[in-house]
Structure 1
Amino acid sequence: MKAARFHGRKDIRIENIPEPLLRPGTVAIDVAWCGICGTDLHEYLEGPIFIPAAGHPHPLSHEEEPVTMGHEFSGTISALGAGVTDLGIGENVVVEPYFACGECAPCLAGRYNLCVKMGFIGLAGGGGGLSEKIVVEQRWVHPIGSIPLDQAALIEPLSVGHHAFVRSGAKAGDVAFVGGAGPIGLLLCALLKAEGLTVIVSELSEARKSIARSTAVADHVLDPSTEDVVARVHELTEGRGADVGFECSSINAVLDQLLDGVRPGGVVVNVSIWGHPATVDMQKLVLKEVDLRGTIAYVRDHPATIKLVQDGKIDLAPFISARISLDQLIEEGFETLIHHKDTAVKIIVHP
């Protein structure tokens, strides 16, 4: 079968590899669509990062580069391993792309996203969605019902937004200030609107601001190049400040604006992955008793996220920028997202 394999920085090859073997307790899936994630781009440009380097196999997958990429994917079950009884052949599904040891303190506490050996399928090994077929453990497979398979490829990044929302402690009726309207920022805005929050988003890119407006995922779209976004947030909240802020840009100036824009006793959740150290003005936290919280991926968020889409509270179709084949992955996928990221939200691949 064909698969996109990471061999090193700027070296991803479309190769023919053996089909994965079905094992007891696992599910075989014919991949329908796989999204290209910002993490994939970081691996392509700067990796290996999450991908285990040659000579350093991952402790759970026991794989090292080259590995098959892709962790945002949907597909159809083609076979069931021994012992799998609650899923059916022909069922459309998405995958929560994890490796977790099940033995460390976070795993035993139910916080498997914090597993000390945690890895992501499609990065740490285990196959990936940028291939024709994959075999995964039953526990990570989630049925999607009638959600179209192309839209279902966005369930994984949407679940990142759901987990950030849960971590924030926000509730319906609150005001959220989102810094950055990239793919995760836009999907987070859609999630927050579906949960009944008022959403203010700040973004420089004209294309991304246009998407935020046309999809109605934000009540107010601000431009930090033309207005004082902190002053505008306070104006829009009648001087109180936002109840919660979400950092989705990995830009220090945005983090500072969020700390200034939330109310006393408010919460700021860092959603983005930073490729460089950040600085935090501790006085901003101390004088307002602001909580600054981290978040990584998701933990038991997929079912609730899937239900929001099934119930029609979130429409994922407008966020798909392009559909390409696996053979077009680099030129039409990676290179487009690197050099024209302002005009592309999510490119999905049909392997």
Structure 2
Amino acid sequence: MKAARYHDRGDIRIEDIAEPVVAPGAVGIDVAYCGICGTDLHEYLDGPIFIPAAGHPHPVSGESAPLTIGHEMSGVVYAVGKGVDDVAVGDHVVVEPYILRPEVDTSEKNPAYHLSPDMNFIGLAGGGGGLAEKIAVPRRWVHPIPGSIPLDEAALIEPLSVGYHAYERSGAKAGQTALVGGAGPIGLLTAAVLKAEGLTVIISELSPLRRQKALDSGVADYVIDPSAEDVVARTAELTDGAGADVAFEATSVNVVLDTLIDALKPQGVLVVVSIWGHPATVDMHKIVMKEIDMRGTIGYVNSHPATIELVREGKVDLKPFITGVIGLDHLVDEGFDTLIHRNETAVKILVDPHA
């Protein structure tokens, strides 16, 4: 079968590899669509980061580069391993792509399984990947979805779950006002969750195309161009002088982080969603004097069922965020190249491995 294989920084190859073995306790998935994630771009430009470098296998998966990438996937079950009796051939599914030590408790009793030592992701540290025709995944990480959710939209449930977990981390409540810094894929999908949960959403974004996408998709009540308006003053105006109740940093840009701190009300909550590849500076005096609660968030933890339900109920419409579908052979020249050099023109590019 065809698969996108990461060899090293700047070196991704479409290769023919053997189909995965569906072991006991696993589910074989015929991949329908796989999204290109910002993490994939970081690996291509600056990696290996999450991907274990050649000769340095991950302690859980035992794999290192070259390996198959892609972790935002949807598909159809084509086989089930021995002992799997609650998923059937033909079911539509998405994947919660974790690689964890086998002894880690991943039940609801452990709300921090995603923070366990050696945590990594299927499609980054091994275990196959969604940028391939087929993948075999442990049953624990397979989430059935109703047939009413199109498989292309379902590929966005994984990044939407990132937004859902960020919302959970914030403690935000319906009726509050949220300020989202950045209208890239994660910023927009986080905003979609916030709107679905009854918050008023303000988005600050430089790109006019992304600002328009935020409005057209309905995930923002207000958008601010920080090059033309004072974000702090405009947020104060929209909140009767109070400031935002909660803010979400989704850019890894220091000036955005600083602006969100200033735009929050006293005792507001700041959630850092983006992955920072460089140290940030924070004005700790402002954090102290406003009693700002600053929280990090990574991935998701038992978030997929609730996220799937938001989509099933129609509270989140994922279709507006799909801005392109390409074949696996054009992963780099039409996918990565667009998202690296013309990222304001696209939100989520999906790959159909069978195209």
> Fold-level match, TM-score > 0.5?
yes
Residue in structure 2 matching 1:219, options 214, 221, 225: 221
Q: Is the 8 A contact 2:273 2:297 kept in 1?
A: yes
Q: Is the 8 A contact 1:244 1:267 kept in 2?
A: yes
Q: Which residue of 2 aligns with 1:230?
A: 232
Q: Distance in 1 between matches of 2:224 and 2:208?
A: 11
**CA 1:104 to 1:25, structure 2 compared with 1: closer, same or farther past 3 Å?**
closer
Q: CA deviation at 1:93?
A: 0.2
Q: Distance in 1 between matches of 2:146 and 2:106?
A: 31
**Residue identity in the other structure for 1:201:** I
How high is the sequence identity, in percent, across the aligned residues?
A: 66
Residue correspondences, number: 351
**Residue identity in the other structure for 1:172:** A
Q: Which residue of 2 aligns with 1:141?
A: 142
Mapping 1:83-232, distance limit 5 Å = 83-103=83-103, 109-146=110-147, 147-232=149-234
Superposed CA RMSD: 1.2
Q: Is the 8 A contact 2:153 2:318 kept in 1?
A: yes
Q: Distance in 2 between matches of 1:14 and 1:235?
A: 52
Q: Is the 8 A contact 1:181 1:208 kept in 2?
A: yes
**Residue identity in the other structure for 1:243:** D
Q: CA deviation at 1:110?
A: 3.8
Q: Which residue of 2 aligns with 1:63?
A: 63
Q: Distance in 1 between matches of 2:63 and 2:111?
A: 25
Q: CA deviation at 1:111?
A: 1.3
Q: Distance in 2 between matches of 1:132 and 1:103?
A: 30
Q: Is the 8 A contact 2:93 2:143 kept in 1?
A: yes
Q: CA deviation at 1:350?
A: 0.3
Q: Distance in 1 between matches of 2:242 and 2:212?
A: 27
Q: Is the 8 A contact 2:105 2:113 kept in 1?
A: no
Normalised to the residue count of structure 1, the TM-score between the two structures is 0.98
Q: Distance in 1 between matches of 2:216 and 2:314?
A: 17
1:20 correspondence with 2:20 = yes
Q: Which residue of 1 aligns with 2:76?
A: 76
1:2 correspondence with 2:26 = no
Mapping 1:193-342, distance limit 5 Å = 193-342=195-344
- Any stretches of 5+ residues in structure 1 without a counterpart? none
Q: Is the 8 A contact 1:102 1:112 kept in 2?
A: no
Normalised to the residue count of structure 2, the TM-score between the two structures is 0.97
Q: CA deviation at 1:141?
A: 0.4
Q: CA deviation at 1:288?
A: 0.8
Q: Is the 8 A contact 1:106 1:115 kept in 2?
A: no
**Residue identity in the other structure for 1:247:** E
Q: Is the 8 A contact 1:104 1:116 kept in 2?
A: no
**Residue identity in the other structure for 1:265:** Q
Q: Is the 8 A contact 1:106 1:116 kept in 2?
A: no
SS in 2 for 1:142: strand
**Residue identity in the other structure for 2:346:** A
Q: Distance in 2 between matches of 1:197 and 1:86?
A: 36
SS in 2 for 1:313: coil
**Residue identity in the other structure for 2:7:** H
Q: CA deviation at 1:295?
A: 0.3
**Residue identity in the other structure for 2:180:** V
Q: CA deviation at 1:102?
A: 4.6
SS in 1 for 2:251: coil
Q: CA deviation at 1:101?
A: 1.3
Q: Distance in 2 between matches of 1:13 and 1:55?
A: 18
Q: Is the 8 A contact 1:63 1:124 kept in 2?
A: yes
Q: CA deviation at 1:103?
A: 3.4
Q: Which residue of 1 aligns with 2:37?
A: 37
Q: Distance in 2 between matches of 1:217 and 1:328?
A: 30
**CA 1:274 to 1:106, structure 2 compared with 1: closer, same or farther past 3 Å?**
farther
Question: How big is each residue's C-alpha offset from its partner over 1:180-225, in whole Å with a ceiling of 9 and x where there is no partner?
Answer: 0001101111111001000000000011001011111100100110
**Residue identity in the other structure for 1:161:** G
Kindly report structure 1 stretches of 4+ aligned residues shifted beyond 6 Å: 105-108
SS in 1 for 2:118: coil
**Residue identity in the other structure for 1:204:** L
SS in 2 for 1:158: helix
Mapping 1:47-58, distance limit 5 Å = 47-58=47-58
**CA 1:110 to 1:189, structure 2 compared with 1: closer, same or farther past 3 Å?**
closer
When structure 1 is superposed on structure 2, of 191-200 and 96-105 the one drifting more is 96-105
Q: Distance in 2 between matches of 1:103 and 1:265?
A: 39
